[in-house]
Amino acid sequence: MIIFEKVFKSFRLEKGKKVAAVQDLSLSVAKGEVFGCIGPNGAGKSTTIKMLLDLIRPDSGSINIAGLPSTDEASRAKVGYLPENPYLYEYLTAHEYLAFAASLSGLTSDMMTERRSMLLEKLKLSQAANRRISTYSKGMQQRTAIAAALIHNPELVILDEPMSGLDPLGRKLIFDLIGELKGEGKTIFISSHVLTDIERLCDRVGIIVQGRLSFEGEVRGISCSLDDLFLQVVQTAGVGEVR
């Protein structure tokens, strides 16, 4: 489904210094797989995801989604994205926001109404659906963003920190939802700090440290806890500061 091939990306900082955000990244995620992406803060996880969606462009290398290059917007037709710390259009209601998201993905009015009520129900937003998003709590905003990512029934779901801002009830909700999506055969790419969730949900996991894929493998095959593995890998990579 997703193929990263020898992707490099660096940024120029204000003082003229160059920072290598992603170095020599080669990664693939098969169809129907649930892939977990973990790593220290600033390791390059979000950068990787943004390159996947053509929001930023790699310096070199190629990225493909279902055979189409990431630079082709058609590659994103069946992709649902939840950004890290999402901002929403606060002047819209969840109702309107989801309708907007659906129309952006080319959904017809009937399909949209059906899926919208289903998702609002599932994410416990039905009551608040006709209030403006500016009145929502952080958790409600997060759930709305998730609903928007799923409104068009995407084949590939990309979740960047899906649990952020959610209380334990919310987390359970989303955890179950991801499980459901997995059951439907969707490909899921999750980036998260909640390692226990990664352990339980993901088929494979990748650890990115300082822009490099330092570890990649099946979750089943890991003998110790994911926490320990993480710390081990990070130590070997020689990360100095904690960001």
Partner 1 sequence: MIRSVVWVTFLEGVRSKAVYGITLMAGLMMIFTVLFSSMIMQDVGKVATDLALSTATFAALLVVLFVGINILAKDLERKTVYLALSRAVPRSRYIIARFLGLALLQGMIMALLFSASLAALLFVRQMYPTFFGTVSLQLVALAHLFIFLQMLLLTSLSMLFALIASSTFVTFLLTTVTWMIGSSTQEVKRLVESGEELRITYLTKLIVKGAYFLFPNLSLFDLKTNAAHGIAVDLSHQGFVLLYGVGYTVAVLSLTVIVFRRKELN
Instruction: Tell me how far the alpha carbon of residue 65 is from its chain's centroid.
Output: 14
- Closer CB to partner 1, residue 23 or residue 232? 23
Torsion of CA 137, 175, 87, 59, to 10 degrees: 160
2 binds partner 1, rule: CB under 8 A: no
What is the closest distance, in whole angstroms, from the C-beta atom of residue 114 to partner 1 in the complex?
Answer: 18
18 binds partner 1, rule: CB under 8 A: no
- The single residue among 16, 67, 106, 168 that binds partner 1, judged by CB under 8 A, is 106
Give the Cα separation of 141 and 145 in Å (integer).
6
81 binds partner 1, rule: CB under 8 A: yes
Which two three-digit tokens encode residue 185? 């055969």
Site residue total, partner 1 (CB under 8 A): 32
- The single residue among 19, 30, 74, 169 that binds partner 1, judged by CB under 8 A, is 74
79 binds partner 1, rule: CB under 8 A: yes
Q: Cα–Cα–Cα angle for 242, 47, 234, nearest 5°? A: 35
Give the Cα separation of 92 and 77 in Å (integer).
24
Give the Cα separation of 135 and 91 in Å (integer).
9
179 binds partner 1, rule: CB under 8 A: no
Q: Which stretch binds partner 1 (CB under 8 A): 51-59, 135-143, 175-183, 189-197?
A: 51-59
- Closer CB to partner 1, residue 130 or residue 235? 130
203: exposed, middle or buried (Cβ count in 10 Å: 0-12, 13-18, 19+): middle
102: exposed, middle or buried (Cβ count in 10 Å: 0-12, 13-18, 19+): buried
195 binds partner 1, rule: CB under 8 A: no
Binding site for partner 1 (CB under 8 A): 11, 47, 50, 53-57, 73-77, 79, 81, 83, 86-89, 91-92, 96, 99-101, 103-106, 148, 152
